[in-house]
Structure 1
Amino acid sequence: MTAPPAAAPTPGPAPQRVLFWASKQLGLRCFAHLAELAAGRPDAAIAGLVHSDRDHRKSGRARNELVELARDLGVPVFDEHQDPVGTDATIGIAVGYPHRITPRALARCQRGALNLHMAPLPHYRGSKTLAHAIINGEERCGVSLHYMDAGLDTGDVIAVRWIPIPPTGPERQIMTELAETAFDLFTEYAPRLLDPEPIPATPQSVLEEQGGVVPRRCTRASLAALYELSHGWDFERLYRYARALDTGNGKLPYIEDGGRRIYLQVAPGPPSTAHETEPTP
């Protein structure tokens, strides 16, 4: 009597392949963290890295540590002008990436693509959001992890983490603290990028209705028009604008009178380390 044939092994979940869009120091830190996690997982890998060559050239650095790390790890590298061909992925993630990602590129990610946005959603969308929040007199700022869709920062929200905006100190100092909060949020969710289970999220329309939020759209152009201040403003308004526009980009706000300019730079304030996670319903 012959034994029945052994049953074929049940196939496990498909390997998780992450397509990573990154730039700036935060993008490097998050990419390195995810690469370290994936190295210990036989069922996970980084399918490709898309970086911003424009951002690197603007930085003035001779070395591109992000690209060097990816190549050392054998990860295919693309810049913003290239389509990440041959890199179909299960999920995507963008950190510090300054360019719009095309629907064609997003479609390569079977489970969707996430973005680490440097502002609380749905409150602030777009770029230079922290400076606008300071000008608007907000008491706190934050970062969001959300799915990307065809709009700009309009996809479903996974999590928001907040920090207080201190009463003193320039935007560049608060942004440094905000970047640490963003890295903490990324490391919290990074293992889930490598797992096949979906990551729950809430539509922004629901969050808008629940919180009575009217989203603000911010742009670089809207901020660039604000650098000329008025000597007729009271001190509080001048200080609010001066600290918001002191972003560390080499450009400072100014007061002009009779063709002469006084440039304003704000002294750093004490560091703030408080943050909180806002769960999505």
Structure 2
Amino acid sequence: MNIVFMGTPDLAAVVLDKLVHSEHKVLAVVTQPDKPKGRGNQVLSTPVKEMAARYDIPVLQPNRVRAEEFFPVLKDINPDAIVVAAFGQIIPKTILELPKYGCINVHASLLPKYRGAAPIQWSIINGEEKTGITIMHMDAGIDTGDMIIKEEVTIDAKETGGSLHDKLAVCGGDLLLKALTLIENGTAPREKQKDEESSYVKILDKSMGLIDFNRTAVEIERFIRGLNPWPSAYTYLDGKTLKIWDADVTDTKAEGKPGEIIAVTKDSLLIKTASGELAVKELQLEGKKRMSADAFLRGYPVAPGVVLNNGSN
């Protein structure tokens, strides 16, 4: 099958790599324009562009795929199918209907639940025990098309957004190839989604990482894992940003107010929440490297009674 691949981040790059090593031919890759990143505003290629360059695949980077001038470019390529994985733009009806087999989406959740952005992170934050990959026929809605095939992935007790991303990327590549075989053979199912079971999850940004210690320890621990590695969960200590990378839930029933450090052990900081406590195991103070609580405490002694806050005081 001749394919145009549309995707942008790391997950999409893993799926593209799997597709390149299959019997299918990737005619071109469409990805988001290069953007400046980091403190130096260095212009960086997307992970999908870098993967395409590795295999000498032509790369297209339109500012808007809806632009009239882009459609003729795709039409000239004449793909049998367009595969989409975390592309980052709404694809217009003209493109959806262009290929013989339509546009096929690799979605990182078990639809219809968790439509929209960041389903990987929200599945952890919301305490799901499983998630997965859905391969679907695309339509004009956001993740509303008919489903072809799904595969479940277990969310482990200490799963982070990063580790789950990596598991789902591999699963997505494998499942896509199975779906393409079904499509090519004319045996691909079209299971309609139950809209009443759906929800849309919002995109992540840096501001959402601020920890609210008025929530329970269980909720906060999931929040920390879900936002690891990006955008990361944080609070403030002595007016400096303090990222928390890893914590365990405890239930000592100690006295204190939410956000208060109620005990300091050799290898952890014990923080009071609305219900239960968090034993912080790994953290990062502004301007410092990520480190274990043990290493942190050797260089930055903290006494019980200190209250972590939202930066306003």
Alignment map for 1:35-114 (pairs within 5 Å)? 35-38=20-23, 45-54=25-34, 60=44, 64-69=49-54, 72=56, 76-81=58-63, 83=70, 84-85=73-74, 86-114=76-104
Between 1 and 2, higher relative CO (CA 8 Å, sep ≥ 6) is seen in 1
**CA displacement 1:235-261 (0-9 Å, x = unmatched):** 222211111112x23x32122477454
Aligned match for 2:175, one of 182, 185, 204: 185
- Which letter does structure 1 place at the counterpart of 2:210? E
- Which letter does structure 2 place at the counterpart of 1:112? G
What is the CA–CA distance in structure 2 between the aligned matches of 1:128 and 1:29, rounded to whole Å? 17
What is the CA–CA distance in structure 1 between the aligned matches of 2:62 and 2:30, rounded to whole Å? 7
| 1:245 counterpart residue number | 227
What is the CA–CA distance in structure 1 between the aligned matches of 2:245 and 2:3, rounded to whole Å? 41
Identify the structure with the greater helix proportion: 1
Cα gap change, 1:34/1:192 in structure 2, threshold over 3 Å: closer, same or farther?
farther
Q: List 4+ stretches of structure 1 deviating above 6 A.
A: 55-59
User: Could you state the TM-score of these two structures normalised by the residue count of structure 2?
Assistant: 0.64
| 2:16 counterpart residue number | 31
Aligned match for 1:204, one of 180, 193, 198: 193
1:147 aligns with 2:147: no
**CA displacement 1:39-88 (0-9 Å, x = unmatched):** 6xxxxx54432122347978946994333245x3xx55322336234123
User: Could you state the TM-score of these two structures normalised by the residue count of structure 1?
Assistant: 0.71
1:214 aligns with 2:197: yes
C-alpha displacement of 1:152 = 0.4
- Which letter does structure 1 place at the counterpart of 2:212? S
* Identity between Structure 1 and Structure 2 (%): 20
Secondary structure of residue in 2 paired with 1:155: coil
C-alpha displacement of 1:266 = 2.1
**Contact kept? 1:170, 1:266, Cα under 8 Å:** no
**Contact kept? 1:231, 1:255, Cα under 8 Å:** no
What is the CA–CA distance in structure 2 between the aligned matches of 1:198 and 1:168, rounded to whole Å? 38
| 1:3 counterpart residue number | none
Aligned match for 2:246, one of 245, 266, 273: 266
**Contact kept? 1:24, 1:55, Cα under 8 Å:** no
What is the CA–CA distance in structure 2 between the aligned matches of 1:57 and 1:256, rounded to whole Å? 25
Identify the structure with the greater strand proportion: 2
Stretches of structure 2 that go unaligned for 5 or more consecutive residues are 249-313
**Contact kept? 2:8, 2:31, Cα under 8 Å:** yes
What is the CA–CA distance in structure 1 between the aligned matches of 2:103 and 2:217, rounded to whole Å? 44
